[in-house]
Amino acid sequence: MFRVVCLLAFVSVLKNLSRLYMQMADVMVKEGWKKAGYEYVCIDDCWPSHQRDAQGRLQADPKRFPSGIKKLADYVHSKGLKLGIYADVGKSTCAGYPGSLGYYETDAQTFADWGVDLLKFDGCYMDWTLLGEGYTNMSKALNKTGRSILYSCEWPLYEWPFRKPNYTAIRETCNHWRNFNDVYDSWSSVKSILEWTASHQDIIVPSAGPGGWNDPDMLVIGNFGLSHDQQESQMALWAIMAAPLLMSNDLRNICPRSKELLQNRRIIDISQDPLGKQGYRSAKVDSFEVWERPLSKNRLAVAVLNMQEIGGPRGFVIRAFPGWKICDPKCNVTQILPQYKEMGVQTQQSTLAIPVNPSGTALLTVTPISGDFTGIHKLHWENVSVKHKYIL
């Protein structure tokens, strides 16, 4: 399954937002985003009217979406793209608009009638003990419509403060799910998400796979809070985490370097690798973090993150990460970030050092040339589960 790759735009106080979303759809087609694999245009909170209609159905705000959601969906579909929308499992959305509690079947059918392709279902204003019931009921309601609607949940995010969520049930119910805080356009926010993910990876990584994915929240690449090195780090690590790639930015005014990064085919190929295994942090050493992800065809993706934020580039000897065992007897190493470079044939005794900028990441793929690779992924994960295991 191709994980969600989309543009997510928050609804603001601007009037006639239908025009904005149509413009974004146009740009996604004209500027190569659709070709790169980004296929959803997603509306976030604040899109509906404060009142349901006489039949109890949600309705779009008449000023922001004067032509309604169905017409917008038709336009997005005409571009070969899909439309995502936002709702909430509780009595109100996080911004205070009508929630779906008590209206799950009505809202699911409304979204299907409009031609919606993705539902982001938030968890505000809901008794946490009823989260599982609410998310499960909306899942059943969506399936009952007969329309294929990708289901994005925030069930574990709202349950973690009280208890460890049941990821077996979550995976059976949702297509992807948020676990931790909202991302902000800052490096400290991105780091906090990485640290939470790594510290809970023994619990959440096994739940990910084709049909269901952990969602560390949106890519903030192309905005203003991250340096370019930090943008490369987010892109690389989200690919290692097998995360849905949801951009939160303005594609009409994005800088060329950010655009090139977001459309980098080699990084997207890692993100969407058909083996469908989520990566994990496998090592922490000398202010470096190493994250590894098993890939199809017996390959490995490796991200080396320089956690220092001052000074200049520092060298990381590539044989110093746990997965390097696949280079017995030999392997081929390709650097994807910060720039593409074929690094040639290496062995377990290689002394090659890769320079990594402060708060930047070197992203590599490693392909064994010969030897038996069977079982390496399983052994590696078991070893990583003992103590400090960190790779992304």
Of the listed 53, 127, 182, 286, which one is catalytic?
Answer: 182
- In angstroms, the CA 137 to CA 123 distance is 14
Is the distance from CB of 265 to CB of 36 less than 8 angstroms?
yes
Query: Are the beta carbons of 89 and 121 closer than 8 angstroms?
Result: yes
Reference 104, options 135, 126, 129; nearest CA is 135
Whether 286 is a known active-site residue: answer: no
The residue among 142, 127, 143, 133 whose CA lies nearest residue 91 is: 127
What does the DSSP 8-state code read for residue 363? E
With H, G, I as helix, E, B as strand and everything else as coil, classify residue 25. Answer: helix
- Prior bond of 274 cis (ω within 30°): no
The residue among 6, 22, 177 whose CA lies nearest residue 89 is 177
Half-sphere exposure of 221 (CA within 13 A, CB side): 25
122 is catalytic: yes
Edge-first strand listing for the sheet containing 280-285 = 280-285, 288-294, 300-306, 361-368, 330-337, 341-347
Which candidate in 44, 88, 122, 229 is catalytic? 122
Radius of gyration of the chain (CA): 21
Do 212 and 169 meet the contact criterion of CB atoms below 8 Å apart?
Answer: no
- Measured over the CA atoms of residue 334, residue 335, residue 340 and residue 341, the dihedral's sign is negative
Residue environment code for 322-361, b if the CB has 16+ CB neighbours within 10 A, otherwise e:
bbbbbbbebbbbbbbbbeeeeeeebeeebeeebebbbbbb
Question: Which amino acid is present at 166?
Answer: N
Q: Catalytic residue numbers? A: 122, 182
